[in-house]
Chain A
Amino acid sequence: MSKVRIKTLKIDDRDVGAREDQTILEVARDNGIHIPTLCQLDGLTNLGGCRLCLVEIKGSNKLLPSCVTAVEEGMEVSTNTERLQKHRRSIVELFFTERNHVCAVCVSNNNCELQNLAKQVGMTHVHFPYMYPALSVDATHDRFALDHNRCVLCTRCVRVCDEIEGAHTLDVRGRGIEAYIITDLEQVWGESETCTSCGKCVNVCPTGALFEKNKSVAEMKKQTKFLPYLTMMRGARR
């Protein structure tokens, strides 16, 4: 076994120890310090896209995403300053303005990570204007459906399909505000030749964007714990 060095650092004024290959987020979690996240999911590669896990590091004015930033000796990390709280609240609000999130009619109501985040960051209302884009729903697949109105573009589904299932059915098309999830070369999902119908994408989706058919309001519960297990078993097989 190769040797791994240990680093010591401070997170929110607490002295903690960490392996040198760990990220700030991992170490914080190991020590029971909660940092909000959305695009990050144990078992998938890290994206650094949702920006909710940003933290402050003493001596630098730049905010860094803790999910992809490696620990360093002597680092002093703050995870919950006023500045961070304000930015996090704004970012969650921006998510809500981007598409049409109507919790009251959503299959994932009460089981939604976006909803939970709004509670966590203390969002009481949205003070940026809603954008109300006109988006479609792809319900051509036998068992699953994709509602673009609820998608937050975290690309967890894209990553799980590529990295774990190995099908790479899902991908992102377009740029900026016009980006959206596609199946294969933008055929409808039901006609996809690569989709194995494994359902992993549905389970990793943090909102009600990907859901099982025949589920009514608030009935869709997701299960993501299978991922670290799969990654671990793969590692053992290698």
Chain B
Amino acid sequence: MTHEEFIQLGEEQRKKNEQYKHSIDVCVAAACVSMQSDKIKKSIEDEVKKKELGTSCRIRGVGCMGLCAEGPLINIDNGKSLYCNVKEEDAQEIVSAIDKEPVERLKLSADVPFFNRQLKIALEDSCNVDTESLDDYLAQDGYEALFDVLTKMSPGEALQEVVKSGLRGRGGGGYPTGLKWSTVQIAVTDKKYVICNADEGDPGAFMDRAMLESNPHKILEGMAIAGYVVGADQGYIYIRAEYPLAIKRLRNAIKQAERKNLLGNNILGTPFNFGIEIRLGAGAFVCGEETALIASIEGQRGSPRPRPPYPAESGLWEESTLINNVETFANIVPIMKKGGEWFASIGTEKSKGTKVFALAGSIKNTGLIEVPMGISLRDVVFDIGGGILEGRKFKAVQTGGPSGGCIPESHLDMPIDYESLITIGSMMGSGGMIVIDDSSCMVDVAKFFMDFCQSESCGKCVPCRVGTAQMHTILEKITNGSAGMHDFQLLEELCDIVKNTSLCGLGQSAANPILSTIKFFREEYLSHIHDKHCPAGVCKIKKEEEVIS
């Protein structure tokens, strides 16, 4: 496809879109589909056909709108009215109302903090583009950034935009993306690879899944730009097999892009070649660790290996490899379109741009949000999140999944950025955010995460393999009331060993949920140990008399 044809395609689609008087956008990301939104879409289509509105109504299946708790969601005429909790039988009423007053009973106000305090960059357009249509993506300047980079910029110039943006890896560690790309760019190997890490193993996290289901082309475009910058001609997306919808849409998107020569050889008439293949993971948490992921793609057991050498130096098949998270790639197209400086103007001094979080737990507005870095945790939980569930009291917010920690009320005004979160013993992680209320026991929370770590440990290194199992046993003892202070001291000692001597990030951060709950909720541990009493009433502690009788 030449550039003219490419521009023309977008034009045509835009014109087609303008012919329609109305648009009905039904969310078809996993959360809404699980509430039958695909069937609702079908009913609306039938209804539109019946009423012969086919020429004036455009119906699309679009990506995640964020407020998953109120799904299925439908957006009429680009935000004119937003319907929530829609059922199949509402289709007729919705279509009938299209030229009249909206259906009050289903209406959700868009002018609430949940929507107007967010800032969407990675998720921009994700609820505004047909999840299965390349043409629709092209109508919104899709692949324009790739074309501009290929024709107007040298790899070095494109790299400079990423460096200037200050973007840091969204997979958890927060490593500067520009620096990583430059390392792969200067590496000298026969071949180079780009890998998109879509393993997303944190319990409760679904940011990457939503991005891939909503706007797969944006990720493909970001990867292709990365390929051009670092000099790679092959990309892999490593995604867990538990994400069938995301896989289906990715496969579809790759095929579409190949057909239109947006992937493959001589992309858009330039000398640049880049292909993308999908590799399915079996869902082991440790396979999200980059060296384990690479081993898994190579067909070996998914165990991490010591670094250095880092993948940038010796990665897939021992060639220089760039590996980034889905959300990192999702930020590339906006950075190329609007410039690195624009991106760097958002956020804090050291954490630029926005971050996507999956809000879950005891919070009103569970769902997917994107907020500028530096916003306070309090604003996220109480303003955007709508606060704690009725009748409950806030206790802590957990970030960073099994590698992160629990943050208490006293630290809620802290800004969300990589450094602040680490300072208080948690971590940005990939974006899971679980709100915990006073009905939860913090020792039990720590035990949940330790159970996860010990069963997901790969078993290669001793401190993590045996240490996490030992820690889990001690937490088990504390929660059933059979532990003494001696066990508590052993627990603290094990935290220190596992953290400092484990091979990979899983073991090195496995103690964080324990350390942070000991730091902020020590009295709960002591209450279990001394008074044989669980303050939240969660742990079943047998009283001594019962044991005897």
Q: What residues make up the interface of A, taking CB atoms closer than 8 Å to B?
A: 47-51, 54, 63, 65, 68-70, 87, 90-91, 94-95, 97-98, 127-129, 131, 152-153, 171-172, 174-179
Which residues in B have some Cβ–Cβ distance to A below 8 Å? 284, 286, 301, 305-306, 308, 454-470, 473, 490, 493-494, 497, 500-503
Closest to A52 in B: B462
**In contact, A174 and B466 (Cβ under 8 angstroms):** no
A49–B463 CB distance below 8 A: no
Q: B305–A94 contact, CB under 8 A?
A: no
> CB-CB < 8 A to A69: which residues of B?
306, 308
Residues of A within 8 A of B501 (CB): 51, 54, 63, 87, 91
Docked pose: A171 CA to B303 CA in angstroms:
13
**Known contacts A51-B502, A65-B306, A87-B500; A94/B470 CB under 8 A:** yes
Nearest-CB residue, chain A, relative to B454: A176
Q: Return the chain B residue nearest A133 by Cβ.
A: B469
CB contacts (< 8 Å) of A174 on chain B: these are 459
Shortest 5 CB-CB contacts between residues of A and residues of B: A179-B459, A176-B457, A48-B306, A94-B466, A177-B469
A2 to B84, CA, bound (A): 70
> With contacts defined as CB atoms under 8 Å apart, how many contacts are there between chain A and chain B in the complex?
95
| Of B458, B497, B502, B503, the contact of A176 (CB 8 Å cutoff) | B458
For residue B458, which residues in chain A have a CB less than 8 angstroms away from its CB? 175-176, 179
Asked if B469 contacts A131 (CB within 8 A), the reply is yes
Q: Check A127 against B465 for contact (C-beta < 8 Å).
A: no
Cβ contact within 8 Å between B490 and A127: yes
List the B residue with the shortest CB-CB distance to A67: B306
Bound CA span A94–B457, Å: 15
- What is the chain B residue whose CB lies nearest that of A87? B501
A175 touches B500 (CB 8 A): no
Please name 19 further chain A to chain B contacts, defined as beta carbons within 8 Å, in addition to the given A54-B501, A175-B455, sorted by A numbering: A48-B305, A51-B502, A51-B503, A63-B500, A63-B501, A65-B306, A87-B497, A90-B493, A91-B497, A91-B501, A95-B462, A97-B470, A128-B494, A153-B459, A153-B465, A176-B455, A176-B457, A177-B454, A179-B459
Alpha-carbon distance between A50 and B467 when the two chains are bound, in angstroms: 13
Interface of B is mostly: helix
In the complex, what distance in Å separates the CA atom of A94 from the CA atom of B463?
A: 7
27 contacts between A and B (CB under 8 A): A48-B461, A49-B460, A51-B461, A51-B462, A54-B501, A63-B500, A69-B306, A69-B308, A90-B493, A90-B497, A91-B462, A91-B497, A94-B462, A94-B470, A97-B466, A98-B465, A127-B490, A128-B494, A131-B470, A153-B465, A172-B459, A174-B459, A175-B458, A176-B457, A177-B454, A177-B459, A177-B465
CA distance A165 to B325 in the complex (A): 39
Residues of A within 8 A of B494 (CB): 128
Contact present for B459 and A176 (CB under 8 Å): yes
Give the shortest distance, in Å, between B539 (CB) and chain A (any CB): 20
CB neighbours (8 Å) of A65 from chain B are 306, 503
A70–B454 Cα distance when bound, in Å, is 31
A68-B307 Cα distance, complex, nearest whole Å? 9
- The docked-state distance in angstroms from the alpha carbon of A179 to that of B458 is 8
| B468 adjacent to A94 (CB under 8 Å) | no
CB within 8 A of B465: which of A48, A87, A179? A179
Assess the B461–A98 pair: CB atoms within 8 A: no
With A48-B305, A129-B470 as known contacts, state yes or no: A177 contacts B457, CB within 8 Å: yes
Which residues in A have their C-beta under 8 angstroms from that of B468?
176-177
Q: Chain B residues with Cβ under 8 A from A131's Cβ? A: 466, 469-470, 473
List the B side residues contacting A50 at CB < 8 Å: 461-462
Q: How far is the CA of A128 from the CA of B492 in the complex (A)?
A: 12
Residues of chain B with a CB closer than 8 A to A153's CB: 459, 462, 465
Closest to A61 in B: B500
Q: Are A176 and B470 CB-contacts (below 8 A) given A63-B501, A127-B490?
A: no
Q: Measured between alpha carbons, how far is A98 from B467 in the docked complex, in Å?
A: 9
- Cβ contacts under 8 Å, B308 to chain A: 69-70
Instruction: Report chain A residues within 8 Å CB of B284.
Output: 175
B312 to chain A, nearest CB (A): 16
Identify the closest chain B residue to A94 (Cβ): B466
Verify A51–B463 contact, CB threshold 8 A. Answer: yes
- A174 CA to B454 CA, complexed, in Å: 12
**Which chain A positions have C-beta within 8 A of B462?**
49-51, 91, 94-95, 98, 152-153
Residues of B within 8 A of A87 (CB): 497, 500-501
**Bound CA–CA A68/B494 (angstroms):** 25
* Pairwise interchain contact B500-A177, C-beta atoms closer than 8 A: no
Residues of A within 8 A of B461 (CB): 48-51
Question: Which of B469, B473, B490 has most chain A Cβ within 10 Å?
Answer: B469
- Chain A CB within 10 Å — which of B301, B305, B468, B501 has the most? B501
Residues of chain B contacted by A179 (CB below 8 angstroms): 458-459, 465
Please name all residues of chain B whose beta carbon is closer than 8 Å to the beta carbon of A129 when the two chains form the complex: 470, 473
Alpha-carbon gap, A115 to B426, bound state (A): 39
CB-CB under 8 A from A177, the residues of chain B are 454, 457, 459, 465-466, 468-469
- What's the nearest-Cβ distance from chain A to residue B489, in Å? 10
In the complex, what distance in Å separates the CA atom of A131 from the CA atom of B465?
13
Is B306 a contact partner of A176 (Cβ separation < 8 A)? Answer: no
Query: Could you tell me the distance between the alpha carbons of A153 and B490 in the complex, rounded to whole angstroms?
Result: 24
**In-complex Cβ contact of A48 among B456, B457, B463, B503 (8 A):** B503
Per the bound structure, the CA–CA distance linking A21 and B381 in Å amounts to 52
A36 to chain B, nearest CB (A): 13
Residues of A within 8 A of B469 (CB): 131, 176-177
User: Counting chain B CB atoms within 10 Å of each CB, which of A49, A70, A129, A153 scores highest?
Assistant: A49
Cα-based distance from A178 to B284 in the complex (angstroms): 14
Query: In the complex, what distance in Å separates the CA atom of A118 from the CA atom of B370?
Result: 52
Chain B residues with CB under 8 A of A90: 493, 497
A94 to B470, CA, bound (A): 9
Residues of B within 8 A of A47 (CB): 460
Of chain B, the residue at the smallest CB distance from A180 is B459
**Complex alpha-carbon distance, A153 and B466, angstroms:** 11
